[in-house]
């Protein structure tokens, strides 16, 4: 009986999948998204939730999320402050982030 070649068992990786994995896998991106999962936050709140991230890198990641339509930045009324929140598209990552979180918990017990 012939066995299928290894490459026949796995579908080819499409560029959308690859680009998405690369985007989420950028340094600090996953934790920035995770920090916004429970609602809007101001910059300093996000920064406080992620020890070790620089302001420059946090700004870069937030701008990338905005550019991709995953987050918005809103100027607060009568204030110079603004807040960031995930869009419905960004909130759709909740299941993905939760699955990764659960997987890491399971790996600790193995």
Closest C-alpha among 99, 104, 93 to residue 65: 93
Kindly list the structural domains of the chain, giving each domain's residue range(s) and its CATH number in brackets, ordered by start. 14-109 (1.10.10.10)
| Dihedral of the alpha carbons of 36, 41, 45, 46, in degrees to the nearest 10 | 30
User: What confidence tens digit (pLDDT) does each residue in 13-60 have?
Assistant: 788 888 888 888 889 999 999 999 999 999 999 999 999 999 999 999
Split at pLDDT 50, 70, 90, the class of 108 is: confident
Distances (CA, A) of 62 to 4, 28, 31, 68, 96: 44, 10, 11, 10, 19
- What are 90's two structure tokens? 């960004």
Model pTM score:
0.80
Q: In the chain, count of helices (H) and strands (E)?
A: 7, 3
């Amino acid at each position: 009986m012939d066995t299928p070649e290894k490459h026949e068992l796995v579908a080819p990786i499409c560029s959308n999948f690859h680009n998405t994995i690369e985007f989420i896998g950028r340094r600090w991106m996953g934790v920035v998204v995770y920090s916004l999962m429970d609602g809007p936050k101001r910059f300093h709140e996000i920064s406080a939730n992620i020890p070790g991230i620089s302001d420059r890198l946090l700004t870069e990641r937030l701008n990338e999320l905005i550019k991709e339509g995953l987050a918005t930045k809103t100027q607060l009324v009568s204030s110079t402050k603004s807040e960031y929140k995930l869009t419905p598209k960004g909130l759709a990552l909740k299941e993905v982030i939760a699955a990764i979180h659960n997987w890491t918990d399971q790996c600790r017990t193995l």
